[in-house]
Chain A
Amino acid sequence: MKNLHLPLEDWTNSFVNGWLLPELGDFFNQLSDGIELIVDGVTDGLLIVPPFLLTFIVVVLSFWLAGKGVGLFSLAGCIYLGAVDLWPEAMQTVAIVIVATLLSVIIGVPLGIISAKNRFMNQLTRPVLDFMQTLPSFVYLIPAILLFGLGGVPAVISTFIFATPPAVRMTNLGIRQVPEDIVEASKAFGSTTWQMLFKVELPMSLQTIMAGVNQTIMLALSMAVIASMIGAPGLGSTVLSGISNVNVGLGLTGGLGIVVLAIIIDRLTQGIGDKL
């Protein structure tokens, strides 16, 4: 076996260092700057709003979209985040989740639509998505560090890539599930391809797509926490410093904060999906 040496490691490194970075380095730098600007903007935006006002908005939305129980939980959750002094960290995490999710939707939904329409694309995306979903999440961190260094930007990038598969899959599924007779009816009345997509197929599959987006958001949240390993600010880094300082209390406090965020975001987005 020793004789059968496959120098994949060397190849990859020389590809990245010898071609990718010198050739596309500038592009990645600009991309990095752009994303940083957006993440910072969103974070600042969230932090500028007084916590009690944001709490109020979240609670009202929870009541309206998901019912009394979730509303009360949101209230308790927000109070908790404030009480343990983790509000800014929570907002940093939320900002990363928001930006990554937006990217996932912008890229993932069109990809899903194309996969639903095009056999070749479907055969291409399916194994790639399968592969992506079996890969351990921290593997996504490595190329992100390589290309974007440490901090919030690689966190957003790896989070976005990690969280995109469900958006693609569920959009694909949703469009395929539109009943044949409805597609036929729309065609028979003389719809163009675009009219069919926007007036029939997307409205018909909106609930399925929203279920995909909900999964995307939850994946993004879990990844945003893990991305603290490459320097992403937020609740993840609180937990991380709890671990590295063997401070169980800090770890638990941050961990609970993540759970609180996860539940609120999950119920809220599910509520939106059900309202459609």
Chain B
Amino acid sequence: MSKINVQELTKIFGSSPKEGLNYLEQGETKDKILEKTGMTVGVNRTSFSVEAGEIFVIMGLSGSGKSTLIRLINRLIDPTDGNVLIDDEDITKMDKQTLTETRREKLGMVFQKFGLFPFRTVLANVAYGLEIQGVEKSKREEQARRAIEDVGLKGYENSYPDQLSGGMQQRVGLARALANDTDILLMDEAFSALDPLIRQEMQDELLDLQNKLNKTVLFITHDLDEALKLGDRIAIMKDGRIVQVGTAEQILEHPADEYVSNFVKDVDRSKVLTAAHVMKKPAVLAAYKDGPRVAVRKMEEAGVSSIFVVDKTKRLIGLLTIDDAIKAYKNDISMEEVLRTDYHSTRQDTPLHELIAYAAETKYPITVTEEGRLTGIISRVSILSGLVLGKEKEEVSAV
């Protein structure tokens, strides 16, 4: 069961949308319909589904219908045609009361322009969703405080929105959506109004929260970097239609058409960037002579679940997972027998784009070796953000 299931959804703005729908079905384009009837096609027979726990990113140029689409999903605007199933219930057919309840229980939203209530304190803003549900004051404030803490705004409960910076205001917006504890978060360019540094901070925060709370997130952006960083899957939208859906790798590797490749063109940095640009020194290494017991302790100290094993000349021998290490130690098997080698090895001068496919497949980091010696490792995140940012910024704490 998909969390959100969008079926043939269409929105036409104008005097007689049904007529516009006929034109669409005859295969007329958005521009033609505008020319002929003066009506604007916002979303054009779009279908996709979002699974529970997924971050689904929609990107596209300005005017491609992203905001219209996300507003159709919680029915802030009514569709011309098509269905939106939230947990298999069709929101387009709900009566007013059911719609209100669904919004309260299932759909949180974060807005580009924050949409905070200026006359309410941070606490009262965050508690708003619960307040209108009639949750009693002490309980809703407790829940609101927790959400405020989650987004790192503890201590600002009694401030007013205009006393906060843009980044902090957007944290309030996020907390307000979190406080309701809905499964689904709709985020329309939620970070676009923030300056780049704060924006990255918020992205990291969202990923963190996602790890903790495992929401289903529909995230809209027109920023490729953001899409690659956040999206489990990315949909590219053009003139109200989704032209491609896929993982970051799929979209970078096989753009469906020119529109998409124009979008990812910026990422041609991958052709000049090499493994050396994005590799990291591994956080910990195990020496072969140390044996499994020491390796386990090193993994525990570093908080990682696997470790690369090298000999005393730093020559890479293999990868030891913590499970294997414990097994070896308990059963007194030699380390050699449990070492894995099913990771990908590459050289420093390998272009990044050649690594994308490997990064997608393997669950272990890619190793970079020089004459057999381990010089660095590359995680999947490093490749993507390397493509995006030009150099590695993430810290690889876990192997």
Contacts and interface: CB of A to CB of B under 8 A. Distances in A.
Nearest to A191: B132
Interface string B177-202: 00010000010000000000000000
A200 B117 contact: yes
Interface residues of A, number: 17
B145 to A, nearest CB: 18
B240 interface: no
Interface in A199-234: 199-200, 203-204
A181 to B, nearest CB: 4
Given A181-B111, A199-B132, A189 B104 contact: yes
A179 B161 CA distance: 15
A188 to B, nearest CB: 4
A204 B132 contact: no
A133 interface: no
A117 interface: no
Contacts of B176: 189
Nearest to A206: B119
Contacts of A179: 113, 115
A182 interface: yes
A72 interface: no
A185 B174 CA distance: 12
B109 A188 contact: yes
Interface in A164-193: 179, 181-182, 184-192
A195 interface: yes
Nearest to A189: B129
Contacts of B129: 189-190
Given A185-B109, A195-B132, A203 B115 contact: no
Contacts of A190: 100-104, 129, 132-133
B115 A181 contact: yes
A188 B74 contact: yes
B132 A188 contact: no
A48 to B, nearest CB: 38
Contacts of A199: 128, 131-132
Interface string B243-275: 000000000000000000000000000000000
B55 interface: no
A147 to B, nearest CB: 42
Contacts of A186: 117, 128
Contacts of A200: 117
A184 B119 CA distance: 16
B163 to A, nearest CB: 17
Contacts of B117: 182, 185-186, 200, 203-204
Contacts of B111: 181, 184-185
Interface string B90-104: 000000000011111
Given A188-B76, A191-B132, A204 B115 contact: no
Contacts of A191: 100, 132
Given A181-B111, A195-B132, A189 B103 contact: yes
Interface in B288-346: none
- The CB with the most chain B CB atoms within 10 A, among A181, A186, A189, A203, is that of A189
B45 to A, nearest CB: 25
Contacts of B128: 186, 189, 199
Contact of B107 (A181, A185, A188, A195): A188
A171 B114 CA distance: 25
A189 B119 contact: no
Contacts of A192: 100, 132
Nearest to B71: A184
B109 A189 contact: yes
Interface string B60-76: 00000000000100101
A216 B190 CA distance: 42
Given A189-B103, A189-B104, A181 B114 contact: yes
A204 B115 CA distance: 12
A189 B179 CA distance: 11
A220 B329 CA distance: 93
Given A187-B76, A188-B109, A190-B101, A204 B180 contact: no
Nearest to B186: A188
Nearest to A199: B132
A267 to B, nearest CB: 24
A190 B117 CA distance: 15
Interface string A151-164: 00000000000000
Interface of B: 71, 74, 76, 100-104, 107-109, 111, 113-119, 128-129, 131-133, 176, 180, 186
Q: Which 8 A-B pairs have the closest CB atoms?
A: A185-B115, A190-B104, A190-B103, A188-B109, A181-B115, A189-B129, A181-B113, A190-B100
20 contacts: A179-B113, A182-B116, A184-B76, A184-B111, A184-B115, A186-B117, A186-B128, A187-B103, A188-B74, A188-B76, A188-B103, A189-B132, A190-B100, A190-B103, A190-B133, A191-B100, A192-B132, A203-B117, A203-B119, A204-B119
Given A179-B113, A184-B76, A190-B129, 4 more contacts: A181-B111, A182-B117, A187-B103, A189-B129
